[in-house]
Amino acid sequence: DAGVIQSPRHEVTEMGQEVTLRCKPISGHNSLFWYRQTMMRGLELLIYFNNNVPIDDSGMPEDRFSAKMPNASFSTLKIQPSEPRDSAVYFCASSQGTSYNSPLHFGNGTRLTVT
């Protein structure tokens, strides 16, 4: 079990550029979550999917953020255009969704810095 895999580990970009974060969940997990972690606001849920379908995107800050899950083994979080206030660590996590005995498994995160 390779765990949840996120790429890149670090991303430094200039304001206005497009940023794409990638996530490969654990095989067999049918729920996928994107979280953002900052010192000021802690861990915020941005969006989550169940069986590749977005269930709740109310945490997505604004229209500049979008997320997709084209298949069970891949998801992206895109920010276009990026702004300095988007700087944070973005975590992807997966779980077996409707199974009651399934906690979240987190990836190592992507540290995004927007200058």
Q: Which residues bind other proteins (CB under 8 A)?
A: 31, 33, 35, 42-43, 45, 48, 50, 55-56, 91, 93, 95, 97-104, 106-109
Residue 96 beta carbon to other proteins: minimum distance, rounded to whole angstroms: 9
Alpha-carbon distance values, 12 to 21, 48, 101 (Å): 12, 25, 37
CB nearer to other proteins: give 70 or 100: 100
HSE-up of 85 (CA within 13 Å, CB side)? 6
In the complex with other proteins, the residue whose CB is nearer, 26 or 93, is: 93
- Pull the structure tokens for residue 27: 């095989």
| Residue keyed to tokens 């276009």 | 80
Q: Which two three-digit tokens encode residue 99?
A: 């199974």
Q: How far is the CB of 94 from other proteins (least distance, A)?
A: 11
Residue 63 Cβ, how far from other proteins at the closest point, in Å?
A: 22
In the complex with other proteins, the residue whose CB is nearer, 50 or 73, is 50
Residue (78 or 105) nearer to other proteins, CB: 105
For 6, list phi and psi in degrees, rounded to 5.
-120, 145
- Find all residues with CB under 8 Å of 100, minimum gap 6, and list them: none
